[in-house]
Structure 1
Amino acid sequence: MGAVTSLAKENKPTGSVKPIVDLTAADMERVNKLILSKAGSDVEMIPEVANHLISSGGKRLRPMLTLATASMFGYRGDYHVYLATSVEFMHTATLLHDDVVDESDMRRGKSSARMIWGNQASVLVGDFLLGQAFRMMVETGSMEALKVLSNAAAVIAEGEVLQLSVAKKMETTEADYIAVISGKTAELFAAAAEVGPIIAGAPEAERKALRDYGMALGLAFQLVDDVLDYGGSSADLGKNVGDDFREGKVTMPIILAHQRGNEDEKAFWRKAIEDGENDDAALEKARRLIARHNALSDSISRALSYGEAARAALAPLPMSAGRHALEEVIDYCIARIS
């Protein structure tokens, strides 16, 4: 996949999570302690399953967005920590549920929870974490924050169901796929960025700007994941390369390659995606076709466009350490392509 590597080296932004990590370090210590506390239960299996994923090395970018955006407006209370922890629990719950739906055997570079404890435990522990998330939202006393995050939970579920409904269907359009990832991925980024200014009492315009930022960032983030599934490595993804292909997911690189292909190529995609003929040889052919039609580089271009939209959303906000950190996150998300 040399074309992807070349494009990445020539054009990709150079970003870092260090500014947002440094900005939120003290509050993230509090979040991590609260995560351990709220993941606890007298039912032994619950903390075992929860901690398997919670402690597996995710960067916790979403809760950092909540902490950073609250700090941008001078918030000094405790409730942003509760909301950030709620966001992380929502994310963890969706990962547990997704691995069951997708029948994934790896998550963040190790065996998924469902492979160790089974599907039933994974689903039920995910439900427990969602319940704990909503308990913490209620504790903040902010109906607006509760409204945003509860709406996000519903939209995420809708996105997952929509993804299921278009899986293995080669008539899926680019617009269909953007609708899927807007729900299942970008909505939680948007909510995480929005509840920070809400709890800090920021004006509506600033709140909307940060929601728009989070939505565009989430879309860029997911498009990069789409690219990595065909042009990255297991270390980049934390799961097996080609899992999207094997699961029949019609992601942006496939949509573009299929649209641009001849009749023989379209027949290959139908057999691979719709009929499940997706062995290693088929994966290699898929990668060749995707490269032939510049589907990875054009997917990267779309990610870059959403990154610019995220940057534009921040433009009305005054320059600060928080805004700088959020801008660096945009570049970091896209720079994962290597």
Structure 2
Amino acid sequence: MAVLSRLIQAPAAVRIGSGVASELPTVLADQRISVSGKLALAVSEGSGVRLRQRLSADLPGDVGWFTVSRASLDAAVDLADQIRGAGAGYDTLVAVGGGKVIDAAKYAAARLGLPLVAVATNLAHDGICSPVATLQNDAGTGSYGVPSPIGVLVDLDLVREAPARFVRSGIGEALSNLSALADWELSHRETGEQVDGLAAAMARTAAEAVLRQPGTIADEGFLAVLADALVLSGQAMTVCGTSRPSSGACHEISHAIDQLYPRLSTQHGEQCGVGATFATHLRGDAERAADMARVLTHHELPVTPGDLGLGIDQFVEAVAYAPRTRPGRYTILEHLDLSPDEIHDAVKDYVATYAR
């Protein structure tokens, strides 16, 4: 009997735990990621200075340090130009920081044809291990397909030093997989879109682990599970070559909020958590929505539009605009195709159900 299988791109090394940033030279050498030892390291302009001081002693001397100012297309192109212009023959790009640095470095690495190693210092979203770079551009925010990192290190000591809000944001991001998967299955039923069962299983496992895990972000065990979940979510996207396992109406709503209210100081994962719970409520899955709202509340995350700093009418506008952010994607929003008045009624019902 013939045995059929497929090749799956995956990181050569994944390390999650306290102090693993110090293992970076060993990982690079053992996995033959950097043969020459000539590394370009990208860090943020702020906390990156302290990270450079902490990591320099463990790294080889032939290292070039570069700063990333923001998660924008221009900043990513500028990073690539700086590295190329240095003319040092770097064979690996290492991004040390949060989503801003890692997303810009993923795009820069793709332009340079270099492997990328991501050293995550917070758990704000699943870009740690995904084949997508989310970057600001002249039209708002765009998602760009890039090779996923060849190595991933999540140092829980550094994560604990990050602002708590950045860590909690990752919880909303992970939970939103549940809504995204429901949208994917809905699209399969209604439009015939194919669902990749392996990618769906990985994304669901990640979300359920966070949903069921006791404790808080103060517990190392919980942080390890959250880090596992975000890495697994990113890998699910790599498996199927699309963000579908982790992005549905939840992310459409988040992107709409970003475009309509750019001055709102909320995290992507916070918006996705609210968007996912609202979308689940729209589907009539009261038990699942209640579970998600309970976990968001437990971790002090937003649950309602008001918790995000949005009025009901503003959130209604975002929900109405959301399908325009991902043309061609079929979710509960496209399926129901609600009028503004119907969306208003649904949002009011949602708020009445879940307001604290």
Question: How does the TM-score come out when normalised to structure 1?
Answer: 0.31
| Structure whose residues are more often helix by fraction | 1
TM-score with structure 2 setting the length: 0.30
Q: When you count strand as a share of all residues, which structure comes out higher?
A: 2
